Amino acid sequence: MSQVRNVKILGTGKYLPMKKVYSHEIDELLGVTNGWVEQKSGVVVRSFVEQETASEMAAYAANDAIKASGLQKTDIDCIVSVSGTMEQPIPCNAALIQQQLGLNDSKIPCFDINSTCLSFVTGFDTISYLVHCGRYKNVLLVSSEVASVGLDWDKKENVILFGDGAAAVVLTKTPENEPSKVLCGHMETFSDGAHFTEIRGGGTKLHPNNPNGKKDDFLFDMNGKSVFKLSSRNIAAFLEKLLAASDCTMNDIDLVVPHQASGMAMRILRNKLGIEERKFMNIIHNHGNTIAASIPMALHEAIMQNKIQRGNKIMLIGTSAGLSIGGVVFEY
Amino acid sequence: MSQVRNVKILGTGKYLPMKKVYSHEIDELLGVTNGWVEQKSGVVVRSFVEQETASEMAAYAANDAIKASGLQKTDIDCIVSVSGTMEQPIPCNAALIQQQLGLNDSKIPCFDINSTCLSFVTGFDTISYLVHCGRYKNVLLVSSEVASVGLDWDKKENVILFGDGAAAVVLTKTPENEPSKVLCGHMETFSDGAHFTEIRGGGTKLHPNNPNGKKDDFLFDMNGKSVFKLSSRNIAAFLEKLLAASDCTMNDIDLVVPHQASGMAMRILRNKLGIEERKFMNIIHNHGNTIAASIPMALHEAIMQNKIQRGNKIMLIGTSAGLSIGGVVFEY
């Protein structure tokens, strides 16, 4: 059955915190050879929040996206936070974002969709059905991530990858005679890897006040080798299904916008996809891995840099904690 | 535009932890007059977890719902956690539930939808579009909540309300010639109340390791009076919109399944709705407020107690942190 949805990305926006952290600074901090961090991560510079909260960053990116869409804030009729982190456990991120946008009198419905690094992809895929069916007119999807606060500086290989930031996208129904459409979405979750990438503590299983909680229980932990093995074993079959559902071949795709996981992960993915470098959006060098914000941020950059034209076929693809692999193919 | 979706609730399930906590026990614990807790909360007994995790409870409820649906576990093709709490910050709840269900080889996509106490309503409303459009065949929605771990025993009025537990629902496309359908959904968020109901700490804004975090920052806090005022001011207009979208009057509704917020909140809601007691599902006395699990749990009980027949018109309605008001009207 065709999955096509008549949905158009009307505008995108982005926000990065002021504070820039260069890889050579992290070399020093970690006491490693000069150049090690950049070589290992593919990141030259990332941004870390100082005072910015996730909802503040979200509002900056959202205002940007709404402006790029030619809309007023009040034209938005649904706000969905598509982030892998929460600003606070209650309420949901989207309500905090509505408040930051000064839309507290708007009654705009607010909720969150979360599949860690794939949250934007899942949100885009899911919500496009509601836009297609006419439930909402202009939906604001926002990913806003503060990765820096949860980093474990004793885990060199992980800590070097991440950056903070936000990205936003406005979805609308495609006007008649325009080509924009979502061709397909596909996601697979392999919970054999549920604990390969995790923050163990801070939820109901190990509450922050639990006296047994150790500092590193509340910090990001990833077994990179296990993640690599499990995703490598499954990516080819996943890709085949994604392409089949989109009725495209890899040759039809004008640009791949991958999750900016790490320099190495992206090199491996590009090889698996078998595509040229110019068709593979890479912004990791000056952003780092911004969790769920990384895909919409790279998409925003691709649009700003004129790498995408209306009618182009775009593939979003990535892996996330879960372990999940997810992707969407759409005509911009 | 009609919002109708040809979606049927195929089966439901429920799980409560073994440990029962009676209100007279809490009277003693809080040092209040015998009977105060029950009188204030409307709760006689609630269940608290001992060793059970949220994903374990979710799996019990899910297995129950899948069995009631006449399906095998592997017939499920999407797992959505619709809970207001997280078992751990990463990965999402649904991946942990897939693992607990022994579906780790299934590749079933897993993600979370969160709007605190309204998560089930939002999830049902949202995902029914994907079922209607044929994207997924049999979706498992699971709410599993451990409220007890986040209670602040210095806040008497709040602590007496909550219980732990899980509920699950399987959605499928309505077979030809059957009446089941979702008639409409509606949600409004009033972020003036974003901080009326919250857990301030534990997310990125106040990380568990933040030395400035005080114990009660990580515990549930609610300004009941402010919540009451804001929701009272908006519920009538909300209800009017919900009914208009459903093309029903209150007289057409066979059963209202409200969020089991508190005895008092439910009395007030029933008055606003202007319906008889027998048309208003109330299970708070032996469950307490189980956050997002409370609506699907009450729905499950209504089905088990034969208070709902196929073709009946059902309204789900509630408020949540955000502050949000949300509802769905469907033909069972």
Domain CATH code at residue A261: 3.40.47.10
Q: Is B208 in the same domain as B324?
A: yes
The residue of chain B nearest to residue A221, with distances taken between CA atoms, is: B90
pLDDT beyond 80 at A285: yes
Identify the pLDDT of residue A125. 98
Strands A313-320 and A255-258 turn out to be parallel
- Residues A181-240: tens digit of each pLDDT: 999 999 999 999 999 999 999 999 999 999 999 999 999 999 999 999 999 999 999 999
What are the structure tokens assigned to A234, written together? 């499954």
The residue type found at A50 is E
Q: Is B155 in the same domain as B17?
A: yes
| pLDDT range class, residue B64, cuts 50, 70, 90 | very high
A169 touches chain B (CB under 8 A): no
Q: Is A61 in the same domain as A155?
A: yes
Identify the pLDDT of residue A75. 98
> Does residue B325 form part of some domain?
yes
What are the structure tokens assigned to A63, written together? 């205002």
Report the pLDDT averaged over residues B36-49. 97
Q: Is A128 in the same domain as A262?
A: no
Q: Do B198 and A111 touch (CB under 8 A)?
A: no
How close, in Å, is residue A109 to chain B by CA atoms?
5
- Residues A141-188: tens digit of each pLDDT: 999 999 999 999 999 999 999 999 999 999 999 999 999 999 999 999
- Residues A63-113: tens digit of each pLDDT: 999 999 999 999 999 999 999 999 999 999 999 999 999 999 999 999 999
Q: Is B40 in the same domain as B153?
A: yes
What b-and-e string marks burial along A177-192, b requiring 16 or more CB atoms within 10 Å of the CB?
Answer: eeebbbbbbbbbbbbe
> Does residue B32 form part of some domain?
yes
> Does residue B1 form part of some domain?
no
> Does residue A1 form part of some domain?
no
| pLDDT range class, residue A46, cuts 50, 70, 90 | very high
Report the pLDDT averaged over residues B46-67. 97
pLDDT beyond 70 at B122: yes
Number of structural domains in chain A: 2
- In chain B, residues with a C-beta closer than 8 Å to the C-beta of A234 are 107
d(CA A56, CA B330): 37
- In chain A, residues with a C-beta closer than 8 Å to the C-beta of B200 are 88
**Stretch 99-128 of chain B: residues touching chain A, C-beta under 8 Å:** 99, 103-105, 107-116, 118-119, 122, 126-127
A-B contacts at Cβ under 8 angstroms: 261
Q: Are B14 and B300 in contact (CB under 8 A)?
A: yes
pLDDT beyond 80 at A136: yes
> Does residue A2 form part of some domain?
no
Q: Of the candidates A155, A173, A191, which is a domain's last residue?
A: A173
Q: Is B28 in the same domain as B146?
A: yes
Chosen for mutation from B92, B162, B206, B216 (greatest number of chain A CBs closer than 10 Å) is B92
- Domain enclosing residue A212, as ranges: 181-331
B308 touches chain A (CB under 8 A): no
Q: Is A207 in the same domain as A297?
A: yes
Average pLDDT over chain B, rounded to whole?
97
**Stretch 217-236 of chain B: residues touching chain A, C-beta under 8 Å:** 218-220, 234
pLDDT beyond 80 at A58: yes
What are the structure tokens assigned to B328, written together? 């769905």
Report the pLDDT averaged over residues B44-73. 98
Strands B110-114 and B78-81 turn out to be parallel
d(CA A272, CA A255): 15
Q: Is B281 in the same domain as B141?
A: no
Angle formed by the axes of helices A294-304 and A119-132, to 10°?
Answer: 70
| pLDDT range class, residue A1, cuts 50, 70, 90 | low
Identify the pLDDT of residue B196. 97
- In chain A, residues with a C-beta closer than 8 Å to the C-beta of B119 are 111
d(CA A327, CA B92): 17
Report the pLDDT averaged over residues B28-46. 96
Q: Is B160 in the same domain as B186?
A: no
Q: Do B115 and A110 touch (CB under 8 A)?
A: yes
Q: Is A166 in the same domain as A198?
A: no
The residue type found at A222 is M
The DSSP H or E segment spanning A124 is: helix A119-132
- In chain B, residues with a C-beta closer than 8 Å to the C-beta of A326 are 109
What are the structure tokens assigned to A53, written together? 């909260």
> Does residue B2 form part of some domain?
no
> Does residue B242 form part of some domain?
yes
Q: Interface pTM (ipTM) of the complex?
A: 0.98
| pLDDT range class, residue A124, cuts 50, 70, 90 | very high
Question: Helices marked H in chain B — which ranges?
Answer: 23-30, 36-41, 54-68, 93-100, 119-132, 156-159, 224-246, 263-273, 294-304
Q: Is B235 in the same domain as B261?
A: yes
Angle at alpha carbon of residue A292, lines to A299 and A55, rounded to 5°: 100
Report the pLDDT averaged over residues A258-276. 95
What are the structure tokens assigned to B82, written together? 């619709």
Identify the pLDDT of residue A171. 98
Average pLDDT over chain A, rounded to whole?
97
Cis peptide before A255 (omega within 30 of 0): no
| pLDDT range class, residue B126, cuts 50, 70, 90 | very high
Q: Of the candidates B173, B196, B220, which is a domain's last residue?
A: B173
Identify the pLDDT of residue A2. 82
The residue of chain A nearest to residue B234, with distances taken between CA atoms, is: A107
Q: Of the candidates A173, A192, A218, which is a domain's last residue?
A: A173
pLDDT beyond 80 at B58: yes
What are the structure tokens assigned to A65, written together? 């996206």
Identify the pLDDT of residue A174. 98
Report the pLDDT averaged over residues B272-295. 97
Q: Is A122 in the same domain as A156?
A: yes
Identify the pLDDT of residue B8. 98
**Stretch 266-295 of chain A: residues touching chain B, C-beta under 8 Å:** none
User: Which residues, 6 or more positions from A84, have their beta carbon under 8 angstroms from its beta carbon?
Assistant: A114, A115, A116, A117, A119, A143, A145, A291, A292, A320, A321, B90
The residue of chain A nearest to residue B291, with distances taken between CA atoms, is: A90
**DSSP-derived secondary structure letter, B175:** P
> Does residue B153 form part of some domain?
yes
- In chain A, residues with a C-beta closer than 8 Å to the C-beta of B54 are 203-205
pLDDT beyond 80 at B1: no
